[in-house]
Structure 1
Amino acid sequence: MPPHPSSRVQTAREELAGRLREIRKDAGISGRELAVRCGWSESKSSRIENARTPPSDADIKAWCRACAAGDQAPDLIAANRQSADAHVQWRRLQRSGLRRLQESTGDLYQQTKSFRVYVSDVIPGFLQTPGYAAAVLSSIAHFRGTPDDVSDAVAARMRRNEVLSNGARRFSFVLEESVLRYRLCSAETMAAQLGHLLGVMDLQNVAVGLIPFSAQRALWPMPTFTIFDDTRVHADTLDAAATLTQPSQVELYSRAFERLRQVAVRGAAARSRIAGALAFLD
């Protein structure tokens, strides 16, 4: 099988193959012995180890079982499943407009019961007003040169965000204080957005924390990410939306979120900083 056209996907496949090879070597068995234990040809073992054939979930289970490393199978299976879509190119998602991008996560939002969101760049989509969302999405459309369907995309985002009013779901947000000061829209739009943020903080199922500029930090500011229940992470970069499902990855981001949450202020202290950002607009 030729290399995958996406270098990111191919790299993920090669990393998985390398981990399987290390497991075999740690078990002290040859490729031939592995093949005998798994009941397949030696050439199949070679193809998997050299990232020429992506293994199935059953192949990974058999491989780990043959190497007495069954406890590693869940992580490897998750890595295998996400290798083809862990890095979804923003250009592909956006080439038909931004509305489709907003709608693509609708089912996931409906299925999730607990959301943990860390942001270091903009007000999180969950908490955006239509005006602020329009400014952010217009900036993305202009930068990417995508079809101008910002109005439809904003409407789709607002529909998606209706999950926020469902009391059965829990939301925990951690924002860098800088997010309150970045000017991606007019002063009037930003004032409305900050006022909306104050209102959202009254919801019983929503917790909002702010990391002050002056906080003694346990972790540095990092790119925005969202944790869906305890099963999935979306970590955004400029060129891709990384979907992470390996248990070890989810656990890593969960620990990072907890560290960041611990230095955030809430309640009156958070409201005071939002009020300060509002005053700064004047």
Structure 2
Amino acid sequence: MVSVRDRRRWRTLPVADEIRTDIPHSARIWNYWMGGKDNYEIDRQVGDASLEIDPDIGEMATESRKFLIRAVGHLAGEVGIRQFLDIGTGLPTMRNTHEVAQDIAPDAHVVYVDNDPLVLTHARALLTSVTDEGVTTYVEADFNNPEHILGEVSGILDLTRPVGVMFMGVLGHARTHDDLLRIVRTVLAAVPPGSHLVHWDGTTDSPYYVRMCEEYSKSGGVPYYPRTQDQLRTVFDGLELLEPGFGKITHWRRPDPERAGVRDIAAYGGVARKP
């Protein structure tokens, strides 16, 4: 396997030309909701307008990160996963995947995948927080082309060993449910038994969330399509769901004392093992 340190093929990008500051971007809006500073005025405007439509969306952003921390922590700890493929990673905020994994397993390898130019400008920051034993790197790719992603990561991750594959609140950008399933199943077909899928997304349970997504699409951003719980559950077909199964991300392996005061939000997912 080629050393990742020999394979950091940074492409020189005219970033200022590629980043559109006049069109909102979901990753930057998400960053805004989570208290980050990597966003523009248009993102803050759309973010505030979205909060007026769906006041729960800010909590969804922070709760999704807490779910990531618990899920990655479990996989790196109890399960012993040492490789993570975080597809559609978005902008770095609090406790990113590599930080959680390498705190537990210093030799963990983490590959982030995204195709947003602003995310690319922050990739070097991600690469600075690496343990001596571990590897953290970034691949520029569109999740709609999973074959390309697999070709890019094949020299970084050992695809004969289990991988933690992560789609964290991003597959709503897939145009159809069939596209969503194609993307996930193509990636999972390339990783061995013992690999795990971590996936969550917003659902149509909340009419406010559905309306917010509709209004976001009108703003010029890439459309986001909420799915039903049943549609999200099919992502795990053929896999072995870990306890407590598919359900609210706010409850997934959350210590009982911490559940007090946690509001229900229209965000569902789970963690499952490839048999």
State whether TM-score is above 0.5: no
TM-score (norm 2): 0.27
TM-score (norm 1): 0.27
**Which has the larger Rg?**
1
